[in-house]
Amino acid sequence: MIITYPHAGDMHIALEVFFREMGVEAISPPPSTARTLALGARLAPEFICVPYKVLLGNLVEALELGADTVLTLGKPSGCRLGYYPRLQQAALRERGYAFRMYALPLMNGSAATAIWQVHRITGVPLRRILRGVALGLPVLRMLDELDRAAHYLRPRERTPGAASKIVRAAKARLREVCDAETLARIRRETFAALDAIPLDRTRAPLKIAILGEFYLVIDPFMSMDLEEELGRRGVEVERNIYLSQWLDFNMFLRALRVPETRTLERLAKPYLRRNISGDGLKSIGGTIRFAQAGYDGVLHLQSFTCAPELMASNIMPLVARDYAIPVLRLVFAEQSNRSGLLTRLEAFLDVLERRRNAQRNTPYATRTEL
């Protein structure tokens, strides 16, 4: 058995550690590229959302490398994610790929159900699976910590690209983690290197929140490296979803309806009385929360033809007006190109900069290119 899974941000790094610790052979798909999207688009219905196409392309590339078992997310849901496993399985089988596919109930299941399912699929004893979880989860948490550190450091570093370089190197090292000691050493060395980056602490970067559709927010390929691009332009970013937080919530805390979700629901209630599938409710509640926290603007990412985010984006102008926060909607599709994205970003940043200058009652000054 050679297991594979589609990409979701840096999740593959933690999964490689998890499966190695379990003693199960696993192949991550090659990094997503234009080829991946083209492969997926060729097998996908034309108007389906772009994450479906990229994920399908990931599976084609992994099956070509010899994988024979696919683990993916399953979610009975009003949005298309609920149909991903069946549709993708049918499309791949039609093209002659031989494999088995299992949809893990990570999005509305519990940790125990998912672990039991992995045990049934792989035949690995539960004790060994738990060892894999005990090593894979801290790796996932560190990956998120690295992203958070990069969000803070990029707009303040004196040498552009210093933080990104250290973070990239650390992520490559994390793929090789095989015990807790190695992980602790990588953590120590990486955060020491990040702490040593010379910063210009006089800068007061614009603060922008990124929220919207799950895959677009967490996956740099799908969002065209949006976070790094903003960091390069001197903007501090924050997102409303991190993989470890998402996993904790869906596997451990959903049943308890933790305060985080209750807060978002409460905030969104005046605009949205019922939950909508996908991340639409979180986009509304998240925008309000970021406005209250003093962010300068919000980027709302959505996939072309994505119903939940389309509903949210219809409500967003009201939220933006009531909470006086500029929101830029960015729609991603197969044909999206980076230059179009950069043009829109540039204009949005200028608006935010002027607005901030006006609020400070200072004469208008153009944004310094960093």
* DSSP string over 66-106: T--EEEEE----SSGGGGHHHHHHHHHHHTT---EEEEE-T
Residues found in the chain: 370
Contact between 302 and 310 under an 8 Å Cβ cutoff? The reply is: yes
Closer of 163 and 312 to ligand SF4 (Cβ): 312
Question: Dihedral through CA 33, CA 278, CA 325, CA 344, nearest 10?
Answer: 30
Q: How far is the CB of 45 from ligand SF4 (least distance, A)?
A: 12
Q: How many angstroms separate the CA atoms of 116 and 135, rounded?
A: 18
Helix (H) or strand (E) holding 261: helix 259-268
Closer of 66 and 78 to ligand SF4 (Cβ): 78
Binding stretches for ligand SF4 (CB under 6 A): 49, 51, 79-81, 213, 278, 303, 306-309
Closer of 309 and 353 to ligand SF4 (Cβ): 309
Measuring CA to CA, which residue among 356, 322, 315 is closest to residue 207?
356
Q: How far is the CB of 8 from ligand SF4 (least distance, A)?
A: 12
Closer of 132 and 308 to ligand SF4 (Cβ): 308
Show Cβ contacts of residue 36 under 8 Å, excluding neighbours closer than 6 positions: 29, 30, 54, 57, 58, 60, 61, 221
Closer of 109 and 278 to ligand SF4 (Cβ): 278
Q: How far is the CB of 172 from ligand SF4 (least distance, A)?
A: 29
Q: How far is the CB of 79 from ligand SF4 (least distance, A)?
A: 3
Closer of 106 and 115 to ligand SF4 (Cβ): 106
Q: How far is the CB of 40 from ligand SF4 (least distance, A)?
A: 13
Q: How far is the CB of 308 from ligand SF4 (least distance, A)?
A: 5
What phi and psi, each to the nearest 5 degrees, are found at residue 114? -65, -40
